[in-house]
Amino acid sequence: MTIQIEFDTRSLLKDLKDPKYIYEIKENKQSLFIIRKPKSNKGRPSFLTTPKKIKISPEAVGLIVGEGYMGSHFVFANSNEKAIDEILFFLKQFKMPLKFYLEISVKNQPDEFVKICKKFWQEHLHLALDRIRLRKEFNSEVQYGTLHINANSIILANLLKKVIEVSKNKAENNKAIATSYLIGILAAEGNINIKKKTNCVYMVRISASKKKERNHYKKCLKKVGIKIFCKDMPTISKKEGIKRGWKTKFGRAGAVIISKWDNFIKILDLNLLKLSKDKMDKFSIHILQNKFTKQFLDISPFIGKEFRIKTLQNHLNLSSRHVCRLLTLFKKGYVNRRKKKNFYLYKLNNNYIRIYNKLISTKNQIGFV
């Protein structure tokens, strides 16, 4: 069952710091009609119908933190239909009109590319798009362009700011919420980096320009059992990038760097990339190329059996390096052992079997050979 974080709408309104405006509430059976009025005679009032209890999934919180804008209105932009559906499900409870804009990078694309993108999103949403913007200066990095959802309500934007603030704090202190929240964050801000020489995943980055945001992500990662070993990737400004002689005309956002095989297995085990099929497929293909993954799978014929290290080494013709890996797996909790006379007997435990099944399932899903 998907976790939902619940907020009392009246309490949220009381906590809003909006010195130039007052909020009036008219209550119905299941909803609140909110009127935001300027204290002076300048400006127009705005209106919003909200549920008495606002519910949001931690995945949606992560997506909004990564790809949302909350100013005089609320905008969410993403190229992934699962992410779009998650945000639309959240917005559905407000029963307000939404506008949909599609941004398409058309550089080096065939003439029919715009039609393909438009058709995809209109069929997915079952409605016509309000506007299409063509970007001629960029090559497209996504399959069907980037969809923008626009909810033109400052009341909603203000409520959301408070919802996000409280939800982020909950994610830092609750493992279940942190897990779901990171699914949204990785869908919005996650990047999978592959080392060309080995064709393996060597790091997963979570982009974040501000140090405060990076520290927040690291607290959430720690909560789910992912340890950070590398220093953060610093933010590089456009000016500094030019000074360094970079080819790109832009700078680079800072990032939290997730490294090491144990952390990659944790990402797979917790299914943290499930909201983005492209990222999940890329990650899965290249973690299966990892030598530690291959060594992990190599010892699977001994599932359900007790064995000595020498037996394993002889049967699989393993080098001492592989044997050291077995001892590492014992220390990591994938292998049990018991002493018999002057030697140890080892057995692959349920933790090993669970991760083995996860890897095999992943292998089958992507058709990995």
- Cα(29)–Cα(127) distance, rounded to whole angstroms? 30
Q: What is the pTM of this model?
A: 0.91
Q: What is the pLDDT of residue 217?
A: 97
Q: What is the pLDDT of residue 324?
A: 76
Q: For the segment 223-256, what is each residue's pLDDT rounded down to a tens digit?
A: 999 999 999 988 888 788 777 777 666 777 899 9
Residue span(s) of the chain under CATH 3.10.28.10 come to 174-287
Locate 219 and state its tokens. Answer: 């607290």
Residue 176's pLDDT band, with cuts at 50, 70 and 90, is very high
Q: For the segment 275-323, what is each residue's pLDDT rounded down to a tens digit?
A: 998 999 999 999 999 988 988 898 899 999 998 888 888 877 766 666 7
Give percent of the chain above pLDDT 90: 69
- Cα(224)–Cα(175) distance, rounded to whole angstroms? 6
Residue span(s) of the chain under CATH 1.10.10.10 come to 291-365
Mean pLDDT of the chain: 91
Q: Which CATH class is domain 174-287?
A: alpha beta
Q: Which CATH class is domain 291-365?
A: mainly alpha
Give percent of the chain above pLDDT 70: 97
Of 127-131, 248-252, 325-329, 330-334, give the range with the top mean pLDDT. 127-131
Q: What is the pLDDT of residue 368?
A: 60
Whether 1 shows a pLDDT value over 60: the answer reads: no
Q: What is the pLDDT of residue 55?
A: 97
Helical pair 211-223 and 175-189, crossing angle rounded to 10 deg:
130
Q: What is the pLDDT of residue 165?
A: 96
Whether 204 shows a pLDDT value over 60: the answer reads: yes
Q: What is the pLDDT of residue 41?
A: 77
What does DSSP say about strands 99-107 and 131-139: parallel, antiparallel, or unpaired? parallel
Q: For the segment 338-358, what is each residue's pLDDT rounded down to a tens digit?
A: 998 888 999 999 999 999 999
The residues near 314 (Cβ < 8 Å, ≥ 6 apart) are none
Question: Where would I find the H helices in the chain?
Answer: 9-15, 58-67, 81-91, 113-125, 154-173, 175-189, 211-223, 238-243, 261-269, 277-287, 291-298, 309-316, 320-331, 350-365
Whether 267 shows a pLDDT value over 80: the answer reads: yes
